[in-house]
A and B are shown apart, each in its own frame.
Chain A
């Protein structure tokens, strides 16, 4: 399948390993990525807080660029960031609901010769895995099952709430897809209190204590539940859970040592890619438990290159 690919800002800024690992994993899943390199930041809810119309127009521009690719044969638009998914879906909800408002926004876009047509399909990689590729197909492509790797899911608020806006219902239980993907990859799902809660990132500059308490508590809960690592489809959650983990540990008064993987990294490991190719060495929290696990199974499947970790 071919997707109009929106990597977002953070995956090309402070979490380059996310963008990199997606590029590694896509061909192994038969996904052709057509990158939307002229598109813009989704606003992460902050631009909408400043001006709803500004956020809606910026995202309508991204959608219009994606629709040009869809017109040329891409199946849908794909993102790799929970926050992009939520912020973009919020704007799409308004744009799709009201023709007059859509025309007003398109009026602004017309200067660039762009126009957004109602009803774009924009899915996070997580949704693409389950709904487009399918768990059976994913399972069949696994080269190195994540046997005995205990993985805690961490969704990020924007991809699980509000449920009706994000199309979460009995037919599309998108708030349980991470668990399903972990299982399909052969891993063990760790159930812990924080999986659907907030990482705290949005208020790190405004109420640092509350933000770090959130990150520290979820990481602690995952440790108490004996997770080897967490996996998240959100690079902003990754910033608070990985980059800020040393600060969260100091704030919480507890040694935390919880590797946090981006979703394409976890998929890549199961598809047989080497941890270094997936950029795991770039994390602030060294993913020792994951590396140890990958080395213990390397002999069994002949994958990986013995990377000297």
Chain B
């Protein structure tokens, strides 16, 4: 047995008191979980500690918390590992972020997480006519959605989403991964409608800032951000959805810019992301950017010739890569979650 110090963030909104830290010492083997530590403290010293849990085996997704600032399941972290990542030898346990605290380590999943999941129509919309028996689908297409189907709805990715932190209306990583669960499913009849809805939403797929927080947070390898990128890819490339948020235009402008120049020529990227220098949508944006542009010119950060002239042309090798890859009938994608690595497969 070994002693571990847990510092638990306590808060009872009904008490009128501010949140505070509460330290407990527990006596457990290092391979036992942080959840077991919390439950020992609750059992032996303070029965009022609020924690939600059920399976204790990383299946039910109930005990999402932050341990030493990192989101995850309390039952999925060994005390020994938590100690190793702690500062000053004390394991900090806090409620998840981006959701209101009900009490201590229990957050209001209904107010945020489940509401957002409902937002993406989280059920299959059958293709008509419904077959008399089961739908026949290819094995590959169902393997593809197993990654998103692995989600246990624990909310760890929602907790630390950096876009949601500044835009609470953002649909968010868990719900968008759930959306891919159906958009990647060949039995679903509403791919186009679902994608258009999420691309046109001002807080939809194009509000993801690509910060990788959700990938690190997820205890199940769902990689929500990767699923959001696939939603963007399918919306723009396969369904030609030109959204009001400039998401598709930005992607298209970037890809074409590098095809022309080999390097990114930023002076073109901004106007092209709005549809081109003279597009009605671009004009107010460019006028709005004038103070920044003027300052950059005054400080000689950018010179006019550099902004207007294309000094760099794509080498033939780059053009040839574009011709080959963009000329394929089907996209080639490698998902390591599905395929694994060579060394693991030997």
A211 sits at the interface (CB 8 A): yes
Write out the residue numbers on chain A whose beta carbons fall within 8 Å of the beta carbon of B328. 53
Chain A nearest CB: distance from B131 CB in Å? 33
Chain B residue, CB-CB nearest to A93: B336
Q: Which stretch in A140-148, A222-230, A281-289 binds the other chain?
A: A281-289
Instruction: Give the interface size bracket for A toward B.
Output: 35 or more
Write out the residue numbers on chain A whose beta carbons fall within 8 Å of the beta carbon of B233. 49-51
User: Are A40 and B263 in contact (CB-based, < 8 A)?
Assistant: yes
Chain B residue, CB-CB nearest to A157: B211
User: Are B207 and A41 in contact (CB-based, < 8 A)?
Assistant: no
Write out the residue numbers on chain A whose beta carbons fall within 8 Å of the beta carbon of B302. 13-14, 16
B240 sits at the interface (CB 8 A): no
Q: Provide the B239-277 mask, 1 if CB < 8 A to any CB of A, else 0.
A: 000000111001110110010001111110010011000
**Alpha-carbon distance between A40 and B264 when the two chains are bound, in angstroms:** 8
**Alpha-carbon distance between A257 and B187 when the two chains are bound, in angstroms:** 54
Q: B294-337: which residues lie under 8 A (CB-CB) from chain A?
A: 295-296, 299-302, 306, 314-318, 320-322, 324-326, 328, 331-334, 336
Q: Which stretch in B113-121, B161-169, B175-183 binds the other chain?
A: B161-169
Q: Provide the A93-118 mask, 1 if CB < 8 A to any CB of B, else 0.
A: 11001110100100011011010000
Q: Provide the A209-225 mask, 1 if CB < 8 A to any CB of B, else 0.
A: 11101100100000000
**Alpha-carbon distance between A97 and B336 when the two chains are bound, in angstroms:** 8
Q: Provide the B192-236 mask, 1 if CB < 8 A to any CB of A, else 0.
A: 000000000011001111111101100000000000010011001
Q: B278-299: which residues lie under 8 A (CB-CB) from chain A?
A: 285, 288-289, 291-292, 295-296, 299
**Alpha-carbon distance between A52 and B291 when the two chains are bound, in angstroms:** 36
B339 sits at the interface (CB 8 A): yes
Interface centre among A16, A47, A49, A209 (most CB of B within 10 A): A49
Instruction: Give the interface size bracket for B toward A.
Output: 35 or more
User: Are A205 and B301 in contact (CB-based, < 8 A)?
Assistant: no
Q: Which stretch in A119-127, A243-251, A295-303 binds the other chain?
A: A243-251
Q: Pick the contact of B301: A16, A97, A211 (CB < 8 A).
A: A16
User: If A9-B263, A57-B325, A210-B163 touch, does A47 touch B254 (CB 8 Å cutoff)?
Assistant: yes
Chain B residue, CB-CB nearest to A97: B341
Q: Pick the contact of A13: B265, B288, B336 (CB < 8 A).
A: B265
B11 sits at the interface (CB 8 A): no
Chain B residue, CB-CB nearest to A250: B291
Chain A nearest CB: distance from B93 CB in Å? 19
Report the number of A-B residue pairs with Cβ-Cβ less than 8 Å.
211
User: If A17-B301, A52-B331, A247-B292 touch, does A161 touch B316 (CB 8 Å cutoff)?
Assistant: no
Chain B nearest CB: distance from A288 CB in Å? 14
User: Are B207 and A51 in contact (CB-based, < 8 A)?
Assistant: no
B54 sits at the interface (CB 8 A): no
Chain A nearest CB: distance from B312 CB in Å? 8
Q: Pick the contact of B266: A14, A17, A61, A214 (CB < 8 A).
A: A14
User: If A94-B334, A111-B317, A205-B274 touch, does A46 touch B325 (CB 8 Å cutoff)?
Assistant: no
**Alpha-carbon distance between A13 and B163 when the two chains are bound, in angstroms:** 27
Write out the residue numbers on chain A whose beta carbons fall within 8 Å of the beta carbon of B254. 43-44, 46-47, 50
User: Are A94 and B325 in contact (CB-based, < 8 A)?
Assistant: no
**Alpha-carbon distance between A157 and B215 when the two chains are bound, in angstroms:** 12
Q: Which stretch in A23-31, A177-185, A194-202 binds the other chain?
A: A194-202
A74 sits at the interface (CB 8 A): no
Write out the residue numbers on chain B whose beta carbons fall within 8 Å of the beta carbon of A52. 331-334
Interface residues of A (CB under 8 A from B): 9-10, 12-17, 38, 40-41, 43-54, 56-58, 61, 86, 93-94, 97-99, 101, 104, 108-109, 111-112, 114, 157-158, 161-163, 170, 197-198, 200, 202-203, 205-207, 209-211, 213-214, 217, 243-244, 246-247, 281-284
7 closest Cβ pairs, A-B complex: A161-B212, A112-B317, A9-B264, A213-B166, A97-B341, A198-B211, A210-B167
Give 4 new A-B contacts, CB below 8 A, not counting A49-B232, A247-B291. Answer: A41-B263, A206-B246, A214-B209, A282-B300
Query: Can you list 15 A-B pairs, Cβ within 8 angstroms, ordered by A?
Result: A14-B302, A40-B262, A41-B263, A47-B255, A50-B233, A51-B326, A51-B331, A97-B336, A97-B341, A98-B334, A108-B321, A114-B317, A161-B213, A200-B166, A214-B162
